[in-house]
Homo-oligomer: A and B are copies of this chain.
């Protein structure tokens, strides 16, 4: 689940005068709480948050990248979501599974918002409440897409869809080149594959001319249609 993709264009309100909230939303839904937010910096691999029971904070990724993981007792790992700047998390942390959030890159920084303050903001500010409702619904829809991917797509389709999704999220400006901040093994655990299969699949896509790999962590999308599994 990619928790949130911040749609700034939605907030480009022409009426600035009377609505301070919509002006704040040009940044992010919780901007009103920034004065009381805590900032945290992490290095690559560092654990940010472990959910044992309900979270006491909402988190917002400010810069860098993070992964939200679930572990089985025997070591199997599933990455539930990759988190990028603007993404919120923490609100769906129940203690059902062993969820971790870890930084992927050095210099990953986050803002922490106390749960109580967020809940108070939701009840007091209708625009924020609306925006958060939209964000949670959006992450639900994203989740359903991931369900299809993990359930019924082949390795080629999963990797293709992943690259397209990442290109949309990370490079709206340059939609044909993405820098993957995560390792192959992370992609594997995100797509429910093995690291070797991810490698092999990328090689196949390159040989087919669907993508180019200037460096190990840079991907250029050459033939977009070759990556889409027709639904």
Residues of A at under 8 Å CB distance from B?
1, 70-74, 76-78, 80, 91-92, 94, 96-99, 122-123, 126, 129, 133, 136-137, 139-141, 143-148, 150-152, 192, 229-231
Among A72, A146, A148, A230: residue with most chain B CB under 10 A: A148
Q: Inside 8 A of A147's CB, which chain B residues have their CB?
A: 1, 78, 80, 143, 146-147, 150
Chain B nearest Cβ from A158, distance in angstroms: 11
Instruction: Flag if B141 contacts A140 (CB, 8 Å).
Output: no
Instruction: Flag if A144 contacts B229 (CB, 8 Å).
Output: no
Which of these, B136, B144, B231, contacts A1 with CB under 8 Å? Answer: B144
Chain B nearest Cβ from A195, distance in angstroms: 14
A143 and B141 in contact, given A192-B150, A192-B152, A230-B73 (Cβ under 8 angstroms): no
Q: Inside 8 A of A97's CB, which chain B residues have their CB?
A: 144-145, 148, 231
Q: How far is the CA of A129 from the CA of B123 in the complex (A)?
A: 9
Q: How far is the CA of A77 from the CA of B78 in the complex (A)?
A: 23
* A151 nearest in chain B by CB position: B192
Instruction: Flag if A92 contacts B192 (CB, 8 Å).
Output: no
* A74 nearest in chain B by CB position: B230
